[in-house]
């Protein structure tokens, strides 16, 4: 699965930028609050607008403080998957249940320096694990290959039936890094500049998907 990140898109032309990647599996939307991460992007009003102009499922990645309070609004608005950070959530198990009750899938994200092991039981309540392969906050960063150990751990837990979720990765995914991420066991690849800096974003999505499928 390929999920273009609109963090790398032209914010003045978001409807057109979504239309340029029609075969995408998800559209990844980075919500940043300048508190949990040192950047400020967009929020619920923009997500609601995006939902009106595309049928592609919206994957909201909330890099915000107090997601227990704010995340539910994204699910209620119609986002397909709403991902919160385990480092920010007060009660991640209750939050997962509330997101699902509000109509979305529930995703849990971990920063590069956050280990997977303490959260395996928590992840039993989630539909998606988003492994960050850069420090959250800014697009265009270099891929951190050491996080693939966590991907391999998660893949093993899924394959052996201990977890039932999609393994997603976000940060520095491009033609040079997607194959090693696929080999480690990633299901869904978030790609920003690799898609939206391309001459043809739609073809870039197809090329990345083919690379990942070949590596798996």
Annotation: binding site for substrate: 5, 61, 137-140, 170-172, 192-193
Can you say which residues are annotated as belonging to the binding site?
A: 5, 28, 30, 61, 137-140, 170-172, 192-193
Catalytic residue among 25, 30, 33, 127: 30
- CA distances to 9, 28, 35, 96 from 15, in Å: 10, 14, 28, 29
Can you say which residues are annotated as belonging to the binding site for a divalent metal cation?
A: 28, 30, 61, 170
In the sheet where 128-132 sits, what is the strand order?
A: 2-4, 188-191, 166-170, 128-132, 105-110, 81-85, 58-63, 27-32
197 is catalytic: no
The two structure tokens encoding residue 111: 């920063």
The two structure tokens encoding residue 183: 């080999």
Catalytic residue among 33, 59, 127, 170: 170
- Specify the pairing of strand 105-110 against strand 128-132: parallel
The two structure tokens encoding residue 44: 């619920």
170 is catalytic: yes
The two structure tokens encoding residue 120: 């395996």
Instruction: List, in sequence order, every residue forming a beta bridge with 5; answer none if it has no partner.
Output: 28
Kindly compute the dihedral angle of the four CA atoms of residues 24, 167, 7, 94, in this order, to the nearest 10 degrees.
120
Residues tagged active-site: 30, 170
């Amino acid at each position: 699965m390929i999920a273009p990140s609109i963090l790398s898109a032209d914010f003045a032309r978001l409807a057109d930028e979504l239309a340029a990647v029609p075969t995408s599996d998800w559209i990844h939307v980075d919500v940043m609050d300048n508190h949990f991460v040192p950047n400020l992007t967009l929020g619920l009003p923009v997500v609601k607008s995006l939902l009106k102009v595309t049928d592609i499922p919206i994957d909201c990645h909330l890099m915000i403080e107090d997601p227990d309070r704010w995340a539910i609004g994204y699910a209620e608005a119609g986002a397909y998957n709403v991902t919160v950070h385990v480092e920010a959530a007060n009660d991640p198990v209750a939050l997962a249940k509330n997101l699902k009750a509000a109509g979305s899938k529930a995703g849990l994200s971990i920063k590069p320096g956050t280990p997977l092991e303490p959260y395996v039981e928590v992840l039993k309540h989630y539909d998606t694990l988003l492994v960050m392969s850069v420090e959250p906050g800014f697009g265009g960063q270099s891929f951190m290959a050491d996080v693939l150990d966590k991907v391999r751990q998660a893949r093993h837990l899924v394959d052996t039936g201990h977890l039932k979720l999609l393994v997603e990765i976000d940060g520095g995914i491009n033609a040079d890094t997607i194959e090693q991420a696929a080999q480690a066991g990633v299901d869904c690849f978030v790609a920003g500049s690799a898609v939206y800096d391309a001459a043809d974003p739609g073809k870039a999505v197809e090329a990345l998907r083919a690379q990942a499928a070949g590596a798996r």
